[in-house]
Structure 1
Amino acid sequence: MSIQKIARLAGVSVATVSRVLNNLGTVKPQNRERVLNAIKESNYQPNLLARQLRTARSNMLLVMVSNIANPFCADVVKGIEAEAEKNGYRILLCNSGSDLARSQSSLQLLSGKMVDGVITMDALAALPGLQNLIGDAPWVQCAEYDEASRVSTVGIDDRQASRFVAEQFLAGGRRQLAMINHDLTYKYAQQREQGFRDVLAEQQQAVPEVAYASELTYQAGKAAMAQLLQHGQRPDAVFAVSDTLAAGAIATLREAGIRVPEETAVIGFDGTELGHLTSPPLSTIEQPSQEIGRQAVLLLLNNINDPDSQAQHTTLAWRYLARGSA
C-alpha cells in the first residue's frame, strides 16, 4: 500500500497524507481523521527509509547503557522508551559495557543517519573519547550529572544525597562508618564518596574505611564487605553506592553472624525493587530512575529540533526510603 493509495482512499491529497504521517503543518480535523481511518483499514506501514530520505529523520534514538544488568540502568531505559514512544520515536539499545570500541561500532548508526541522536550512560571520564565519535550530533549524558559539561546531562545531586546518609548514621549514634564504592571514573562515585567524607570531617569523626567493588554486582558487594570486615574495627554502619552492592554486603554480614541493623546498619542507593528482597528490607536513597530517562529524551529532542541550543543540565529530586536495614 502506497501513500498515493492512502490519499485516494481518504479522498485527500498526497500532501495531506504526508503532513499527517509526519505531524507537520495544519490539517483539518476531519481530513486527519479520514487519513487515519484509511491507514487503519489498509494496515498501512510507512516505509521508514523513504521517510528518512524525505525528512532527514529516522525517528530512532540510540541508547548506550554501560551495564543493562544493573537494575537502575534497566529502570532508566524504561523511562527513556516510554517518553520516546510518546513522542513518536523508537529506541535502539546498546549494552556498551563502557567499552569505547563497542561504542564506536554502535555510533556508526549516527554517521549513517539511522538514528537522530544518542543517550549515553557512560562515566563522565569517557566523554572526551565519545565526543570524538559523536561530534556535533544531538547527545545527552544520562544519570551522570555535571553542570560544567558541554553535553546536556540529567541526574540527581549525588553529593547532597550521600551527605544525608552520613548524617542519618551519625544521628542514630553510629560512629564506625564505612563505605562500599565502585569505579571513581564515574562522577557519581566521586561525588557520593566526597559528600560522605565531608560530613564526617565536618563533625570531626573518624575517616571512613572505603572498599571499592570490582563490579556493580551482588558478588562484588559481598567481597567488598568481606574486605571491610578484615581490616580494623568492625563498622557499625555501611553506605553502599548501589542497592546491588548493599544486598551483597547484607549477605556477608549475615553469614558472619553480624545482625543488621542492630550491630551494623546498611544503606544503599538507587531505590530499585531489589531493596524489597533483602532481609531485612534495604533502606536506600531512591533515584527517580524512570523520570531521569524521560527527561533525557526531552533534552535530546530539544537538541534534535534546535541543533544550536545550549547544553542543559537537569537536576531531579531524590528521597530516602527508611526500611529495616538502618
Structure 2
Amino acid sequence: MSIQKIARLAGVSVATVSRVLNHSESVKPKNRERVLQAIKESNYQPNLLARQLRTARSYMILVLVSNIGNPFCAEVVKGIEEEAEKNGYRILLCNSGSDVKRSKSALKLLSGKIVDGIITMDAFSKLPELTALIGQAPWVQCAEYADSGDVSCVGINDVDAAQNVIERLAERGSQRIALINHDLSYKYARLRERGYKTGLHVQQLEYSAVEYASELSFSAGKSAMEKLLNASVRPDAVFAVSDTLAAGAMLAISQAGLSIPEDIAVVGFDGTSLAEMVSPPLSTIEQPSQEIGRKAVGLLLKKIDNPDSPTERVMMDWHYISRLSA
C-alpha cells in the first residue's frame, strides 16, 4: 500500500497524507481523521528509510536505563515509550547497569546517526564520563536531578520527600527510625539520606541508623533489614529508599516474629504497584513515574528540534500514600 493509495482512500491529497504522517498541526481535524482511518483499514506501514533520508532523522531515541528490573525504572520507560510513539518516534532500550563500558557501546548509535537523541537514567556520578561520550547530541537525564550544567533533566525533590516520611513516622510516635539506602553514586540516594537526617534533626530524634543494601533488590532489602534487627538497639520504624527494598525488609521483620506496623513501621519510596501487593500494604512516596518519562521525551524533542534551546530542569510533584504498614 502506497501513500498515493492512502490519499485516494481518504479522498485527500498526497500532501495531506504526508503532513499527517509527519504529525503536522496544519491538517484539518476532519481530514486527519479520514487519513488515520484509511491507514488503519489498509494496515499501511510508512517507508521508514525514505522518511529518514527525507528528514535526516532516524526517529529513534536511545534510552539508557540503570536497572530495568527496578519497577520504578520500568514504569518510567513505559511513559517514555508512550510519549515517543505519540510523536512518531521509537525507542532503543539499553540496560546499562551504570556501566560506562556498556553505555559507551550503546552510545556508538549516536555517532552512526541511528538515534536522534538520548535519555539516561544512570547514576549521577557517571554523568561526567557520559558527557564526554555524548558530546553535543540532544540529551535528557531522567529521574536523577541535576542542580547545574547543560543537560536538561526531570525528577522530584528527593530531600523534601524523604523529610516528609520522617515527619509522618514521628507523628505516629516512632522514635527510632532507620534508613535502608542504596548506592551513594546515585544522587537520589544521597538526597534521600540527606532528607532522612534533616528530618531526624527537625523532629529532635537522636536515634540514627543507616544500612546500605548491596543492590536495589528484594533480597538485598531483606538482608539490610536483618542487620538492623541484629543491632543492639532495634528500630521501631524503617524508611527504605525504594518499594523493592521495603518489601524485602517487611519479609525480614515477619520472619523475625515481629508485627508491622505494631513493632516496626515500614515506608517505601516510588509508589510502584508492588506497594499494594505486599501485606500489609506499603506506605510510600509516590513518584509520577510515567509522567516523568513523558516529560523527559518532551524535553528531548525540544533539543532535537532546536539544539540551541535552553537547558530545562523540571521538578515533578510527589505524594505520600498512607497505607497499613505505617
SS of the residue 2:141 aligns to: strand
Matching residue's letter, 2:85: E
Distance 1:325 1:9, change over 3 A: closer
Q: Indicate the larger mover: 241-250 or 106-115.
A: 106-115
SS of the residue 2:238 aligns to: strand
The answer on 1:123 being equivalent to 2:123 is yes
Unmatched tracts of structure 2, length 5 or more:
none
Query: Would you say the 8 A contact 1:142–1:155 is kept in 2?
Result: yes
Alignment size in residue pairs: 326
Match of residue 161 from structure 2: 161
Match of residue 199 from structure 2: 199
Alpha-carbon distance in 2 for matches of 1:8, 1:116: 33
The answer on 1:183 being equivalent to 2:175 is no
SS of the residue 1:174 aligns to: coil
Match of residue 294 from structure 1: 294
Match of residue 283 from structure 1: 283
User: Deviation per CA, 1:161-200, whole angstroms, max 9, x where unpaired?
Assistant: 0001111121222111110000101111001000110121
The answer on 1:72 being equivalent to 2:72 is yes
Deviation at 1:56, TM superposition (A): 1.1
Deviation at 1:313, TM superposition (A): 0.7
Query: Would you say the 8 A contact 1:147–1:153 is kept in 2?
Result: no
SS of the residue 2:284 aligns to: strand
Deviation at 1:36, TM superposition (A): 5.5
Q: What TM-score results when the alignment is normalised by the length of structure 2? A: 0.92
SS of the residue 1:77 aligns to: helix
Match of residue 249 from structure 2: 249
SS of the residue 1:88 aligns to: coil
- Please give the residue correspondences for 1:37-56 in structure 2 after superposition, counting only pairs within 5 Å: 39=39, 43-56=43-56
User: Deviation per CA, 1:57-92, whole angstroms, max 9, x where unpaired?
Assistant: 121111111111111111111111111111121111
Distance 1:28 1:292, change over 3 A: closer
SS of the residue 2:211 aligns to: strand
Query: Would you say the 8 A contact 2:281–2:324 is kept in 1?
Result: yes
SS of the residue 2:307 aligns to: coil
Alpha-carbon distance in 1 for matches of 2:29, 2:178: 63
Alpha-carbon distance in 2 for matches of 1:62, 1:234: 45
Matching residue's letter, 2:157: D
The answer on 1:62 being equivalent to 2:62 is yes
Matching residue's letter, 1:232: S
Distance 1:37 1:261, change over 3 A: closer
Distance 1:72 1:232, change over 3 A: same
Deviation at 1:277, TM superposition (A): 1.7
Alpha-carbon distance in 2 for matches of 1:189, 1:315: 17
Matching residue's letter, 1:272: T
Query: Would you say the 8 A contact 2:138–2:300 is kept in 1?
Result: yes
CA RMSD, 1 decimal: 2.2
Alpha-carbon distance in 1 for matches of 2:236, 2:34: 69
SS of the residue 1:301 aligns to: helix
Deviation at 1:28, TM superposition (A): 6.8
Match of residue 228 from structure 1: 228
Alpha-carbon distance in 1 for matches of 2:34, 2:249: 60
Match of residue 209 from structure 1: 209
Alpha-carbon distance in 1 for matches of 2:295, 2:14: 35
Distance 1:256 1:22, change over 3 A: same
Alpha-carbon distance in 1 for matches of 2:72, 2:94: 16
User: Deviation per CA, 1:131-173, whole angstroms, max 9, x where unpaired?
Assistant: 1111111111111112324211111110000001111121222
Alpha-carbon distance in 1 for matches of 2:14, 2:256: 73
Matching residue's letter, 1:57: R
Q: Indicate the larger mover: 216-225 or 276-285.
A: 276-285
